[in-house]
Amino acid sequence: MLNGKSILITGGTGSFGKKCTEIILQNYKPEKLVIFSRDELKQFEMSQVFSEKDYPCLRYFIGDVRDRDRLYRAFYGVDYVIHAAALKQVPAAERNPVEVIKTNIIGAENIINAAIDCDVKKIIALSTDKAANPVNLYGATKLCSDKLFVAGNSYSGYHGTRFSVVRYGNVVGSRGSVIPFFKTMRETGTLPITDARMTRFWITIEQGVKFVLRCLELMHGGELFVPKIPSMNIIDMARAIAPECKHNIIGIRPGEKLHEVMITDDDARHTLEFDDYYVVEPEFDWWSNEKHIANGAKQVPEGFRYASNTNNRWLTAEELKELIKDR
């Protein structure tokens, strides 16, 4: 569906954006692929790998999702938008709440308005497991963002712009994640562990990108897509990365959860299950679950909850080592 289309990635120079660019250029022939981000240095560095000379469809566009006028300029003639821009560091968000609100919430509103007015066909926004029953500001802003994108379908009117959301867990090896941190700390002989009971969902960046592109094709507008991915205990992860290291229990940081949830039991009543993902359906009058049931979906049971500690899929130490060996 991307062949001959114009695609824009917000936050295009981040971990997700770079991998998404790579996969799109390898597998599709878009008319135009716009990398929208605010950092000129990162755009320059990315252009050394993906140059406009080697890939004539590429455009590097400096801008910020906080700047509504700039979004209008960038979205002109675009068919699909993949929204990956966000401020996502939990401790930084707690210390700088207004800045995170401006990017994650006001930025989402700007994208929705610009997309509708510029007749963008589809928008898919990246969310996070921290948006389900949030306990920190980052998760709360992403929950607001999710709600905004879902509601955007109700007022796109005759423009017909459709919005959906993808929610998944921690990305293996992404910037600021625990895996590169543990790799750095193993030189000291001791790894700081927040809580030995802690669990998290894990997904690779390649899996995340491919799932987002798949959902871009499957979406009707208003769905929240959640992939079925494995969990891992923090101690098992530490032992896999640095088996020779001692552990220093430091306690859970402000704004952190012991376990992550991607689908709450309150969402279960309107959640459908497929073989390898879930769809949390919108509660719109015009929505019909026949859109997905026709493709083999089934309603999850009452009281269902998709959490990292009760997951039925777990990542082994050997599997983790295989995933991070080249990272």
Return the active site residues: 130
Rounded distance between C-alpha atoms, residue 137 and residue 94, angstroms: 6
Tokens of 7: 């695609």
> What's the token pair of residue 284?
């719109």
With H, G, I as helix, E, B as strand and everything else as coil, classify residue 80.
Answer: strand
Q: What share of the chain is helix, strand, coil (3-state, %, to 5)?
A: 40, 20, 40
Helix (H, G, I), strand (E, B) or coil at 140: helix
Rounded to whole angstroms, the Cα distance separating 5 from 26 reads: 15
Per the structure block, which two tokens stand in for 195?
Answer: 């809580």
Q: Do the strands 80-83 and 6-10 form a parallel or antiparallel pair, or are they unpaired?
A: parallel
